[in-house]
Structure 1
Amino acid sequence: MKQLCLLFLVLSFVSCGKKELPFGQYQEVISLNGTWHFLASNEIGKDQLLTADYSSWDTLNVPGNWDTRDRYADFVGKGYYSKEFNIPEDWTDKHVRVHFGAVYQTAKVWLNGQFLGEHVGGYTPFGFNVTDVIDRDGNNSLVVMADNSYNRGAWWPWGGISREVSLEAHEPIRLVSQHISAIPDFERDEVQFAIRYKLENNSSKTVTADIRTTIDQQQDTVYATKDVAPGEEVFSEIKFNRSLADYQLWGIDAPNLYSLTSQVTVDGKTVDLDTDKFGIRKFEVREEQFFLNNKPVRLNGVNRVHDHPAYGNTEPDPLVRKDMMDIKYNLGGDFARLMHAPYSEDLLDLCDSIGFLLVGEIPVWGDDDPQAFPDNPLTKHWLKEMVERDYNHPSIVAWSVGNELRDPKGEWSEKSMTTAQYKYVNSMLDYVEKLDASRLKTYVTITSYRQGEVGTEPYEKVDFISMNSYGEAVKLAQKTHEKFPGKPIFISEIGKSQIGPAPAAELSEELVTELKGLKDLPYVTGFSIWSYNDYRSKYKGTPASGFREWGVVNERRERKKAYGQLKEVFSFWEK
């Protein structure tokens, strides 16, 4: 992650004009968060948009969702944002990018009337090089369209710019990313490190980039060198081993983290500096069990929907911390596929720091998902963006490529996947392997215990089976194991109808019996109840309140009786 402010802003002048400041002596990142002008409209045209009087529009905070405001609570479609800004005087000779943490769902961006591009996907970052578009001496006008018409699943399609927006200044040569895997080899008593750098050359000549990387706490330094041609984006990889005795492992009870700092120099001058945190751990499957750091583990948790009446899906730090600390330390959960979409970066950072294990997933869901066809370039793009952003987080131990795909035709009890859905999952599992071979792969099924069979159910390529159940979980897990033996089964969602409103709503006696009964199945690695919190929805069966009451806490985090019941079940599994 880019260091936001390496040094204070320094302004320096000489008789012939502004002095070019070297890297480290100018502010690298400027936040554009705060108040933006806003217009909700499905009628305004491009010409009207780019010549509008933005000061006459309403105002909204960024990050934010327009549907947390009463006047826009049910608005679906296109929301337009406008922001004016100036850049610092010492950015005159710098390359400049505009960065968006996430915009739901489709975004279009203009700067000073020039179209920069479009991004489709509501949960992952994107950006544009604006070096040749930005006005370095005057006001700049940034306009963003956010369209939340696309909706998947039962969660609310919160519209707007839901993550941070920033301007980034950098030298012509920059380190785009550094991905590290640090996997212990317990037979050889060593840690196997691999670092993959991504470099970009925006200059007009070939340069030799020297990279000096240090694991800060150990003062362990390695080096790499790479020639980068003009306009190229290239990769460089180094591998090295170290004694396991010199490092501490990352785990559930001891989430030890290290800092990886890489300095890039060209002709002896520093041009970039990045620091990322990482952990050393091995999460694997052996026969029908999970192993974490050479020890068998059974792991339980709760699903958590990124939703709050006041904050939408913006995931402010205090809310994320309150929820995840409650799940980890009060309830006793430690593993989940929390949500059907990529997580916020602050949630990932927190899970890294407390030892909560996660499965990351892209939003492909249900019986009518238009994206569920083989070799879909859009879903591959979503997966690539998620993996590239989240690669260094030790809390992420597996990737999932979708949830509950099934044929829309036929009786519920007879459901199976269509040929296109089956081929979609297999093609995406192959793609996951190319993006990140260091983590496990899965897909979340509800057809394995119905009409799914080997050849129609994505069984061979997953490392473990993720199975959802909303009734007779023990029986259905047994049936899944009989049909698809030899792999662990994680009950990724479990429930029994809606729990109900706070504070009196409780888990049914039948569900509590099932949750405890799953412990007797040695191939079941654990379960995750749906869900931690109630959440806004317009899906069928949602109460008049507009919130699905499936949580053990309500939408404002008031505990239900079900909370205490779940805590007791988690304790039962620990005995």
Structure 2
Amino acid sequence: MSTMGEDRHKQSLAFSVAATVGLMLFCYASGFGHPHTPGWTPMSSIVSGSTTSTSSQALSGEWRFAIDPSAIGRTAGWFKPSFDDASWATVTVPHTWNVMPDYADYAGLAWYRRRFAAPATARDMHLRLRFEAVFYLAHVWLNGIYLGVHEGGYTPFEFDVTEIVNAGAENLIAVQVDNRRATDRIPATLYAGWSYDWWNYGGIVRDVELYLSGRAFIAQQRVIAVPHLVAAHQADRATITVTVGLRNALSHAIDGVLSGDVLDDATGHSALSSQPSLSVTLPPGERLDVQLATTVPQPTLWHFDRPHLYRWSAALRTADGAVLHTADVQFGIRSVALKDARLYFNGEPVRLVGLTRHADSPEHGLAEPLTVMAADYADLKTLNTVLTRPVHYPQAKFIMEYADRAGILFLPEVPVWQLTAKQMANPHIRALVRQQLREMITAHWNHPSVFAWSVGNEVQSKTPAGHEFIRDMIAYVKSLDPTRPVGFASNRLDRHPETDATAFADFVMMNQYFGTWGGPKDELSAALDAIHAAWPDKPIIISEYGFEPRWQRLRKRPILRRSQYYLLPEDVAADSEAADVLRRQLIVDQMAVMRQKPFLAGAIFWTYQDYRTPTDYKMGVVDAQRRRRGSWRTLRDEYAPVLIDSVSVSPPAESVQHAVVVLRARGPIERDMPAYTLRGYRLHWTVAGKKDGRIVSEG
């Protein structure tokens, strides 16, 4: 199905289905099939075992674990290989102790230890010990030698352990972890009794690996892919510029040649007629950044409905042609532009929708297995999530790869949550925020799903310190990545928006809770108009809207017009059907208002699932166990990109009836959302028994 331009609301699709008399045809617009099925297998990080490419030794799995409430571990030598940890618990990393019944509420120090055998070939290789994430503060030792400390719970970090690993022998990793909340950490406690509203899951929460390569190697690659558009979703060429970080860990200089190729990820075939190359000289013990550039003719663009990917494959060779190292990175070619208060994707103005999701489940906490992440994001795609702000912190590598392959636009953020003016002026906090921004951008640069960055959420953005902080952090992000827009989520735009630090952002991110915390229901429309008047060229994305049934317990306010609020009686449970009825009504009401604002480019519902929080919020369309509430279907219907115009069923004729269903894409874009051109979609239909619901035919 394809609908184009301003006539999209006039376009329709009719189809007929023959059904046996006495049966019922089910065809929901919200069940319209997405053209891409995200049933994929992620690429392994293990490339090969040779010295000409990077191999990895997985160090997740069984570790020894013990809490250290009295902080005796260092003094007692818990980091030493000779220490006997036989009495410690055995856990499986990724792991958080806050899902263990005995330690569910424990905040403090804990230790992890793991023994592993390194291959004998490691003695001639460069070795890096990499942690994808440890929450929150991690001190790391290898074979009793202190490697260093990392602060921040959601970004990867690594250590050069080339001279420390015992090749062909046993090694011991020890990690001391601290998950305590504090006012000078990111995320931060704000003041006594009030802190960030998700759980501080302590532990080695993501994978651990030992990376092995030759001692002259490709350390990092950043791809910039710029299509030359000739029409919406069509480009006659794309310019590819790759910054390649080369490292020479040898004691002598190397003269070599760096070359690259662009491969179609689906076919493995080269997209280039000739491969770029560059002669390089690598000084001993140094890192060198160089650039290669090329052009891809007639590229297939990445789109959330058609997420086509390419691979950049680089090779470092000696001057006589011997391969020193090879490395691949995945990327996509797409265009994002913000102009005239609209979001243009690959040259087409679009209005998009989605949900947020916390990395959290009762069984695993933050240390999620792939099965949980894949199931949740598949369900998010069922809800037509094509735009999301993945809550307040960087996500796991698997989720980023999933978004690339399944087609979800991400707006990643560091956990700068509701900072006060005093905190934003604190040099230590500012340095921590820069560090986490740098680590997030470095880790996620090449993902085509990342269309913009966010520097924080709901800070005191109308204060002088808030203005300076937001301005400086946006400038810092642009110094690292000048190719993407930058914003932050503000909850202070409902009154006098022109005084907010959003003035420094490329687009508006508004957290709005009208009908609850934000004020009366009927003030939403005027608030959106006032924001547009303050910045008429900036598109607005509703970065949060949703419903917490017990919202009054956090912000008591006199309710003079009860009909203007979504109020749950105090004697009714927050996870009751009555509470969800209010959530459904809020979704319908607010989507109706937001659709009428053409300058509103997107809306993101908070949140997909209930998650563990000190305030016991119940804001999900599914509960913590992923049981769907009625609001799940309401949101799916509201987020459907197509509508059913009519259904007509013919009279029975020889025990056969025909049903004709007329569908149309949402639009026009000025008055509807989601709104974008649909191509390659599939219609799924089902015929079921009217009495027993038994499916007798489908297609």
TM normalised by structure 1 equals 0.89
Structure 2 counterpart of 1:286, one-letter code: K
The question of 1:302 aligning with 2:355 is answered yes
Partner secondary structure for residue 432 of structure 1: helix
Q: 1:195 aligns with which of 242, 250, 254?
A: 242
Output the CA distance in 2 between the equivalents of 1:233 and 1:108: 26
Q: State the partner residue of 2:629.
A: 560
Q: What CA deviation, in whole Å up to 9, does each residue of 1:205-262 have, x standing for no partner?
A: 222342221112352222133322222222111233333x2x1000021111111111
5 Å-filtered alignment, 1:106-255, equals: 106-150=137-181, 151-152=187-188, 153-187=196-230, 189-217=236-264, 218-219=269-270, 220=272, 221-243=275-297, 245=298, 247-255=299-307
Q: What CA deviation, in whole Å up to 9, does each residue of 1:161-189 have, x standing for no partner?
A: 01111112221112111111112121583
Structure 1 counterpart of 2:223, one-letter code: I
Output the CA distance in 2 between the equivalents of 1:155 and 1:327: 20
Shift of 1:574: 4.4
Q: State the partner residue of 1:379.
A: 433
The question of 1:352 aligning with 2:404 is answered yes
Q: What CA deviation, in whole Å up to 9, does each residue of 1:311-335 have, x standing for no partner?
A: 111232221221111111x212210
Bigger relative contact order (CA 8 A; separation at least 6): 2
Per mean C-alpha deviation after superposition, the further-off stretch among 130-139 and 307-316 is 130-139
Is this contact kept in 2: 1:341–1:363, CA < 8 A? yes
Q: State the partner residue of 1:494.
A: 545
Shift of 1:479: 2.3
Output the CA distance in 2 between the equivalents of 1:6 and 1:299: 36
Output the CA distance in 2 between the equivalents of 1:535 and 1:22: 44
Structure 2 counterpart of 1:30, one-letter code: Q
Is this contact kept in 1: 2:128–2:158, CA < 8 A? yes
Is this contact kept in 1: 2:541–2:601, CA < 8 A? yes
The question of 1:531 aligning with 2:607 is answered yes
Structure 1 counterpart of 2:163, one-letter code: D
The question of 1:40 aligning with 2:67 is answered yes
Partner secondary structure for residue 360 of structure 1: coil
Structure 1 counterpart of 2:631, one-letter code: A
Per mean C-alpha deviation after superposition, the further-off stretch among 65-74 and 267-276 is 267-276
Output the CA distance in 1 between the equivalents of 2:64 and 2:424: 37
Partner secondary structure for residue 50 of structure 1: coil
The question of 1:420 aligning with 2:465 is answered yes
Is this contact kept in 2: 1:194–1:240, CA < 8 A? yes
Shift of 1:146: 1.4
Partner secondary structure for residue 502 of structure 2: coil
Structure 2 counterpart of 1:311, one-letter code: H
The question of 1:435 aligning with 2:455 is answered no
The question of 1:316 aligning with 2:369 is answered yes
Shift of 1:510: 4.3
Shift of 1:508: 5.0
5 Å-filtered alignment, 1:383-532, equals: 383-406=437-460, 417-454=462-499, 457-471=500-514, 472=521, 473-498=524-549, 500-501=574-575, 505-506=580-581, 507-532=583-608
Per mean C-alpha deviation after superposition, the further-off stretch among 109-118 and 131-140 is 131-140
The question of 1:23 aligning with 2:52 is answered yes
Output the CA distance in 2 between the equivalents of 1:354 and 1:435: 27
Shift of 1:421: 2.0
Is this contact kept in 1: 2:498–2:531, CA < 8 A? no
Percent of matched pairs sharing the same residue: 29
Output the CA distance in 2 between the equivalents of 1:536 and 1:260: 40
Output the CA distance in 2 between the equivalents of 1:311 and 1:294: 41
Partner secondary structure for residue 159 of structure 1: coil
For structure 1, list consecutive stretches of 5 or more residues without a partner in the other structure: 9-20, 407-415, 543-547
Q: State the partner residue of 1:12.
A: none
Output the CA distance in 2 between the equivalents of 1:496 and 1:426: 31
Q: State the partner residue of 1:412.
A: none
CA 1:531–1:4: 2 relative to 1, 3 Å: closer
Q: RMSD over aligned Cα, in angstroms?
A: 2.2
Give the length in aligned residue pairs.
540
Rg bigger for which structure? 2
For structure 2, list consecutive stretches of 5 or more residues without a partner in the other structure: 1-41, 182-186, 189-195, 515-520, 551-573, 641-665, 667-672, 676-699
TM normalised by structure 2 equals 0.74
Partner secondary structure for residue 75 of structure 2: helix
Per mean C-alpha deviation after superposition, the further-off stretch among 355-364 and 269-278 is 269-278
Structure 1 counterpart of 2:478, one-letter code: E
Per mean C-alpha deviation after superposition, the further-off stretch among 475-484 and 93-102 is 475-484
